[in-house]
Structure 1
């Protein structure tokens, strides 16, 4: 046995003249408080933020590439088949272009806007500021390239027809 364990003081029984009923409970030292360990964050909320951030970060460039490739396909079709400028544009290419625009707007604007509102409702400051920055980072260049009035006109034309 180690010397430390061997030399422990043993508990002595109370002396007969000592009254144990009047003893006070040992007092705590001032300044000591129990350590409160917070619960870990909910993994579902973390998965939600991660999913929305990935949807925005990966979906926006892919939707933009799809829009650009659809537009290039429309230009290629027009260059090969159109000799007369008065002929109407092919309807299937215009519908594909409108659908690509809707995907771009949904992934670039609607996803970060929805995530920003959800973060504000759930009172998550870091997620709120992150998704607000993402919304600003995509909305400003998009609206500089195509003003909101032109976007609205393109969407109403796509849904109602020319």
Structure 2
């Protein structure tokens, strides 16, 4: 028999004769209760993770800004490109109805361009402004800085394309008249 197997079996008497090992300093023997604990323990304060709803709000606002602004700009450009009258319209052959068709088409095109401009302003300026206000209200400094930079970028780029007075006149004309 191998020595490993030969020595692994001990009788009950051998087990009872063994004395417990001396305890280390600061440790108590098993089965006994210490009179006074040698170490003082203070609970560790673990910071709670940020609320997932707030993170979902930031992600939603970033997606709205990052995808909504180019899509609204594309809608504005496509509405501007769709200003032509269909030359195959049979009502254009009659001089009396041709003016009505052109006026109707012009009104429809101006409404589409105005709606696209409003959506562009909502996505490019409104969403980052809302994100900045929410971040400031929730005391999230980095989110407020990020949305503030996005707002400044959107405002700067849009005002480079169109002067503020032209944007204002277009919005007023679309909303009120």
The answer on 1:106 being equivalent to 2:119 is: no
Q: Distance in 1 between matches of 2:121 and 2:140?
A: 25
The answer on 1:40 being equivalent to 2:49 is: yes
Structure 1 25/57 Cα, relative in aligned 2: closer, same or farther at 3 Å?
A: same
CA shift digits 1:10-35 (9 cap, x unpaired): 639x9xxxxxxxx765354xxx8543
Deviation of 1:77 (Å) = 3.2
The answer on 1:77 being equivalent to 2:77 is: no
Q: Distance in 2 between matches of 1:50 and 1:142?
A: 23
Q: What secondary structure, in the 3-state scheme, does the structure 1 residue paired with 2:85 have? A: helix
Deviation of 1:112 (Å) = 0.3
The answer on 1:26 being equivalent to 2:35 is: no
Deviation of 1:149 (Å) = 1.4
Q: 2:170 aligns with which of 149, 154, 157?
A: 154
Q: Distance in 1 between matches of 2:113 and 2:87?
A: 17
CA shift digits 1:83-102 (9 cap, x unpaired): x9xx7571011000100000
Structure 2-normalised TM-score?
A: 0.69
Structure whose CA Rg is larger: 2
**Partner residue, 2:22:** 9
Equivalent pairs counted in the alignment come to: 141
C-alpha RMSD of the superposition: 3.2
Structure 1-normalised TM-score?
A: 0.74
Q: 2:111 aligns with which of 95, 101, 122?
A: 95
- 5+ residue gaps, structure 1, are 15-22
Q: Distance in 1 between matches of 2:75 and 2:20?
A: 80
Superposition pairs of residues 137-148 of structure 1, within 5 angstroms: 137-148=153-164
Structure 1 139/8 Cα, relative in aligned 2: closer, same or farther at 3 Å?
A: farther
**Partner residue, 2:77:** 68
